[in-house]
């Protein structure tokens, strides 16, 4: 039987083989959901006491040989996803009904369910559908990040809890010479950290492959170490700062003008960290600020076929619109992204906002080399997955930057 199965597998095309894996994982998740229903039934019957155990997780530890943590998670998930029968016989809806429905279809893994439950603990029940929609298309880590951003968006104007005022962050640099080298460790506040990363990033990219040197084989830590050394040298020559996207490195802070003027809410750095309005106002006083009004006539929205490269003005608009890599589920900030021609420039596409999308280097390569497609739909970059991933190729957007 096993040889027949191996033979059948080898007859499948690569797309069919991958699709079969996706289908079988879905079936596994459906079976897991059936197991959770049975665990919930055991729990409602009081099986632990019947067998003389402290709780059902201990029963499962011995019966299925799960460790304690896994057994407790299965019992907790079962309670969230299954209907409960009261002592009088009334049936209560699951605590997370939308999640329960998606899990029953095989759309969510046990880890997805755990993260959705964690996220929903801080959110109103009305947004469960939105969170589950994200979980259907993204990994658990992305769901957690989306939930965190969604909670911030819903509660950012609530009065702050009266906690003890945290101690101000103190920047620290620890230096120690070892074997002729200086070892450096640093603790930096959010704004300084983001600025440092923004300046280091363009200098730490792999160098282009050449016939003499070949590919860049340095590890990421080596590239960033060399970039730090180069940054020190650049500071010595203060008139020569690194550029990224056609402009000197800048720190991007996203915040509405009204909030800035009213000194409320928080601004968001391009790495996802948030800083108080007071700190944003201080940055606005001390730094060169470029006002950006989307669609304003002074902004170069379209330069046609004059050049393949996107000028700084168009890039600023893309940063404001896409807020980072627009590929579904990607959280890379704008400074790690390229502007991509949706209708390729080589095929007659124009260099314009309407024909551009911000994508990180990884997803830029993926779009060029795979069946993923991107189109503009009502002014929003919209992605269409390969047929092996979604037979209907339903459109997807990156919800993580817009939570």
Residue ranges of alpha helices (H) inside 237-268 are 257-262
Closest of 163, 160, 162, 128 to residue 147, by C-alpha: 128
Domains of the chain, by residue range, sit at: 2-155, 172-233, 253-286, 312-402
- C-alpha–C-alpha distance, residues 127 and 232, integer Å: 48
Burial class, 134, CB count within 10 angstroms (exposed 0-12 / middle 13-18 / buried 19+) = buried
Residue by residue, pLDDT tens for the chain (403 residues) are 655 656 677 888 888 888 889 889 999 999 998 998 899 999 988 899 998 888 999 999 999 999 999 999 889 888 878 766 555 545 556 788 899 899 888 999 888 988 998 999 889 989 999 999 999 988 999 999 899 888 887 776 555 555 555 667 788 988 887 777 788 888 888 878 888 888 888 888 888 777 667 788 888 889 999 888 888 777 756 655 555 555 555 566 777 767 777 777 777 776 667 777 777 766 665 544 444 544 444 444 544 455 567 887 788 888 888 888 999 888 888 877 888 888 887 677 888 888 899 998 888 888 888 889 999 998 889 999 988 888 889 999 888 776 4
Q: What is the pLDDT of residue 298?
A: 44
Supply the pLDDT for residue 30.
92
Report pLDDT for 313: 78
Name residues whose C-beta falls within 8 Å of residue 302's C-beta, 6 or more positions apart in sequence. 350, 351, 352, 353, 354
User: Around Cβ 130, how many Cβ atoms within 10 Å?
Assistant: 16
- Provide the 3-class DSSP secondary structure of residue 281: helix
Answer whether 401's CB lies under 8 Å from 322's CB.
yes
Alpha-carbon dihedral sign for residues 234, 236, 237, 240 = positive
How many alpha carbons fall within 13 Å on the CB side of residue 138?
26
CA distances from residue 269 to 197, 249, 266, 282 in whole angstroms, order as listed: 11, 14, 10, 14
In angstroms, rounded to a whole number, what is the distance separating the alpha carbons of residues 199 and 78? 48
Q: Is 123 helix (H, G, I), strand (E, B) or coil?
A: coil
CB 338 within 8 A of CB 359: yes
* pTM of the shown model: 0.60
CA dihedral 99, 101, 105, 111 (to 10 degrees): 20
pLDDT for the residue numbered 237: 61
pLDDT value of position 244: 55
* Nearest C-alpha neighbor of 204 from the set 341, 361, 327, 323: 361
- Predicted confidence at residue 296, as pLDDT, reads 44
Strands of 249-354, DSSP E: 253-254, 266-269, 274-276, 337-341
- Give how far Cα 22 sits from Cα of 66, 109, 116, 209, Å: 25, 12, 21, 37
C-beta neighbour count of 233 within 10 angstroms: 10
Rg of the chain over all Cα atoms, to the nearest angstrom: 26
DSSP secondary-structure letter at 94?
P
What are the DSSP E strand ranges found in 157-252?
A: 172-178, 181-187, 243-244, 247-248
């Amino acid at each position: 039987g096993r040889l027949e199965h191996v033979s059948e597998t080898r007859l499948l095309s690569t797309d069919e083989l991958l699709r079969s894996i996706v289908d079988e994982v879905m079936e596994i998740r459906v079976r897991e959901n059936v197991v959770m229903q049975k665990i919930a039934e055991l729990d409602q019957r009081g099986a632990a006491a019947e067998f003389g155990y402290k709780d059902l997780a201990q029963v499962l530890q011995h019966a299925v040989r799960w460790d304690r943590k896994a057994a407790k998670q299965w019992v907790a998930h079962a309670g969230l996803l299954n209907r409960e029968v009261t002592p009088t016989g009334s049936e209560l809806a699951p605590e997370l009904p939308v999640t329960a429905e998606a899990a029953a279809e095989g759309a969510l893994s046990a880890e997805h369910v755990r993260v959705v439950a964690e996220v929903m603990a801080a959110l109103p029940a009305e947004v469960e559908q939105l969170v589950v929609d994200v979980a259907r298309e993204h990994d658990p880590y992305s769901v957690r990040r989306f939930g965190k951003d969604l909670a911030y968006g819903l509660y950012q104007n609530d009065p702050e809890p009266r906690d003890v005022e945290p101690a101000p962050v103190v920047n620290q640099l620890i230096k120690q010479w070892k074997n002729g080298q200086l070892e450096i460790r640093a603790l930096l506040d959010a704004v300084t950290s983001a600025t440092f990363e923004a300046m280091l990033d363009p200098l730490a990219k792999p160098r282009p492959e050449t016939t003499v040197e070949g590919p860049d084989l340095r590890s990421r830590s080596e590239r960033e170490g060399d970039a730090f050394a180069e940054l020190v040298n650049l500071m010595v020559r203060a008139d020569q700062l690194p550029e990224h996207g056609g402009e000197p490195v800048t720190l991007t802070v996203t915040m509405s003008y009204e909030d800035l003027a009213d000194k409320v809410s928080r601004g968001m750095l391009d790495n996802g960290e948030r800083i108080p309005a007071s700190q944003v106002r201080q940055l606005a006083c001390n730094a060169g600020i470029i006002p950006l009004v989307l669609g304003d006539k002074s902004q170069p929205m379209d330069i046609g076929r004059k050049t393949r490269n996107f000028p700084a003005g168009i890039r600023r608009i893309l940063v404001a619109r896409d807020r980072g890599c627009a590929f579904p589920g990607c959280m890379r900030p704008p400074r790690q992204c390229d502007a991509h021609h949706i209708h390729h420039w080589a095929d007659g596409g124009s260099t314009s906002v309407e024909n551009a999308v911000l994508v990180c280097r990884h997803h830029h390569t993926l779009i060029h080399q795979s069946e993923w497609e991107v189109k503009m739909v009502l002014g929003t970059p919209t992605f269409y997955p390969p047929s092996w991933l979604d037979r209907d190729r339903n459109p997807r957007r990156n919800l993580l930057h817009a939570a």
